Structure 1
Amino acid sequence: MTDTTDRALLHALSGGHFISGEQLAHQCGISRTAVWKRLQNFNQRWGLDIHSVRGKGYRLSRAIELLEEEILATEHPDTNVAPQVHLSLPSTSASLLEQLQQGGLENGASVFAEHQSAGRGRRGREWISPFASNIYCSIHWRFDCGFAELGALSLAVGAILCRLLDEYGVADVGLKWPNDILVERRKLAGILVDLLGSSEGPVDAVIGIGLNFSMPGNADELIDQPWTDLESLGMGELSRNRIASDLVHALTSGLPEYAHSGFHAFVDDWRRFDTLLGSPVTVVMGDNRIQGIHAGISTDGALVLENNGEKRRYYSGEVSLRGTGSAGDGNA
């Protein structure tokens, strides 16, 4: 009941226009006092900026588009499992991992949240998740192979996401090894993969993606690295529901490619989107920092670093532009 009433309130306010407390109470079937309490709760829990003016009512500081399970389920009817949409979760990946441990999931099961209270980045970092501003999604896929064959899965997902953004017309979209999505060296999206299973297989993958759509005005205070969003890139007219639906479709089409052919099916795309090729970079591995020229990736997804004419492969670590001091992170 709580989620249904909260969603009804948010729908009524989503246009960003004033609406009276009396109207809100009537539409949602609750008292005006309950309306006020819930709106206070929205601000405290999710950081929603809600303006209140005597005689005019309430309005959100900016219009929002809520994700709708019905739209996501019908946009691509060939996707077998209906996506789940929540107003708030600690983490979309944590939700899928919990469901997986409780009794299994079908391939393609996906979870979206309008807000994450404990969104995770790579290496334990926090992923900033303002309400209804971006796309926070996780999807499950089971692979018959073992862990070793999935070492480049996150790179393949990066290539899948770049293909989609390229189809939308996002100019200069690129990949930073292993899987950050950049535009003009500003972070647009991140990826985090959790694997559960055995070394021989099968292995269940939960793939988390955070894609910046329309960051709030205070985002610079919250994020400690250069970032961008689709709205800033001239893509603000895209529907969040369309992006979410297209993302699930792209993944449920691309992940079977990986299951069949491994990373070989994605190497050419990854190299096409490799945004740091030829740049001086630093590979950060714990306390170690190794400098060199980014010479591309190998067919199994390793970073190739050239130093004094010698090329070496690296299968773990993070990459930063030399001198920037920031390696970035992934999401979920």
Structure 2
Amino acid sequence: MKTPMSVVHLLADGRFHSGAELGRRLGISRAAVWKAIRKIRDEWQLSVHAVPGRGYRLAEPLQLLERDRILSVLDSGQRARLETLDLVWSTASTNHLAFDRAPSRDGQVAGVLAEHQAAGRGRRGRRWESPLGRNLYLSLAWQLGGDVTTLSGLSLVVALAVLHTLQQCGAEGIGLKWPNDVLWNDRKICGVLLEMQGESAGPWRVVMGIGLNVAMEEHSGLHIDRPWVDLRTVLGRNPDRNRLAGKLLAELIGMTGDYRRHGLAPFLDEWRQHDVSSNRSVELHFADRVVRGIARGIDARGALLLESGGTVQAHHAGEVSLRYEPDA
């Protein structure tokens, strides 16, 4: 992987570089350069223009992640809670890595950021498109003592932390779709995947995985079967990925700390203000059935309230997916 990674670093400026120049600077043959270009295109989903007589360039410049720039956004208290922050080039899943790096002390967090995911996943095992350097793929591991019921509603708080981050960047019209999707005009800009390991009485290792669309090329979204959008489209400009990653980390560290101390209650009113599903006709998709009704917001534990057949019932996230009914 070292040679393709080095080629990306050289091409990140968005300018043309000849195959001979790339080969000379990296000490490899032009054939090796071409092999690296194929990997960059086919596996890492970056558009590379090849023009005879001029060489290769990325379709647009690429801002790669820098650990020091990300950490500079955090205040001293947030840094104290962040036990480690690892930046990796490519991995199957940042959630998998984060479990291995879970902090040993209660209340501490450990972060993993990747430029690319080879097998990124969303809720219910759905594939999460993860082209190199175009989005943010962040997982935050957290160790907690106590009963698993203390985690009820955590995914809603994580989605709210993403909303805060986007608002700080100037994004308007961001909404939340139960349990933890972040939308803009009913198009998904961010997804959250929470995974847990532990015994019923604790301690628990919790990993909060966030996939945030930042500046995704159109071809990378061809296999996404639902409406999506990226932050660049929302803002009308390219956001700074390092500053964005730092702001997201800061919000997650701060809000999970508040959640640990006070639970979901302090977040409920704000979450409800941004709930774009409330009073809409929806479908709840379970493994073996579909339930239709009207979404009536969330209860004190973060469960969805669904009115169906004249009654209102609470549904917890788990293996259930909320979808809007056609024309709803």
| Inter-partner Cα distance in structure 2 for 1:197 and 1:85 | 26
Q: Which residue does the alignment assign to 2:149?
A: 148
The TM-score, its normalising length taken from structure 2, stands at 0.90
Q: Which SS does the other structure have where 2:142 is aligned?
A: strand
Q: Which residue does the alignment assign to 1:44?
A: 42
| Inter-partner Cα distance in structure 1 for 2:115 and 2:198 | 29
Q: From 87, 91, 94, give the equivalent of 2:93.
A: 91
Counterpart of 2:200, as a letter, is S
| Inter-partner Cα distance in structure 2 for 1:82 and 1:23 | 37
Structure 2 residue 195 is matched with structure 1 residue 197:
no
Give, in angstroms, the shift of residue 95 of structure 1: 1.3
Q: Which residue does the alignment assign to 1:16?
A: 14
Counterparts of residues 65-144 of structure 1 (less than 5 Å): 65-76=63-74, 78=76, 79=79, 80-100=82-102, 104=104, 107-144=108-145
Contact 1:119 1:128 in 2 (8 A): yes
Counterpart of 1:216, as a letter, is E
Counterpart of 2:87, as a letter, is V
Figure out how many residues of one structure are paired with residues of the other and give that number: 321
| Inter-partner Cα distance in structure 2 for 1:82 and 1:53 | 43
| Inter-partner Cα distance in structure 2 for 1:243 and 1:145 | 32
Contact 1:92 1:136 in 2 (8 A): yes
Give, in angstroms, the shift of residue 36 of structure 1: 3.2
Contact 1:73 1:82 in 2 (8 A): no
| Inter-partner Cα distance in structure 2 for 1:47 and 1:7 | 13
Counterpart of 1:41, as a letter, is K
Give, in angstroms, the shift of residue 69 of structure 1: 1.9
Counterpart of 1:9, as a letter, is V
Check 1:235–1:137 CA distance in 2 against 1; reply closer, same or farther (3 A cut): farther
- Structure number with the bigger relative contact order (C-alpha 8 A, sep ≥ 6) is 1
Unaligned runs of at least 5 residues, structure 2: none
Counterpart of 1:112, as a letter, is L
Check 1:165–1:47 CA distance in 2 against 1; reply closer, same or farther (3 A cut): closer
Q: Which SS does the other structure have where 1:75 is aligned?
A: coil
Q: Which SS does the other structure have where 2:8 is aligned?
A: helix
Root-mean-square deviation (CA, aligned residues, Å) is: 2.2
Q: Deviations over 1:48-98 (max 9, x none)?
A: 222223321211122211111232233325324452222211011011123
Q: Which residue does the alignment assign to 2:296?
A: 295
Q: Which SS does the other structure have where 1:266 is aligned?
A: helix
| Inter-partner Cα distance in structure 2 for 1:270 and 1:189 | 16
Q: Which residue does the alignment assign to 1:322?
A: 325
The TM-score, its normalising length taken from structure 1, stands at 0.89
Q: Which SS does the other structure have where 2:312 is aligned?
A: strand
Give, in angstroms, the shift of residue 324 of structure 1: 6.7
Contact 1:72 1:83 in 2 (8 A): no
Give, in angstroms, the shift of residue 322 of structure 1: 1.7
| Inter-partner Cα distance in structure 2 for 1:243 and 1:138 | 15
Q: Which residue does the alignment assign to 1:57?
A: 55
Question: Which shifted more, 30-39 or 224-233?
Answer: 30-39
Question: Which shifted more, 86-95 or 13-22?
Answer: 13-22
Q: Which residue does the alignment assign to 2:225?
A: 224
Contact 1:193 1:205 in 2 (8 A): yes
| Inter-partner Cα distance in structure 1 for 2:327 and 2:286 | 16
Unaligned runs of at least 5 residues, structure 1: 326-332
Question: Which shifted more, 278-287 or 29-38?
Answer: 29-38
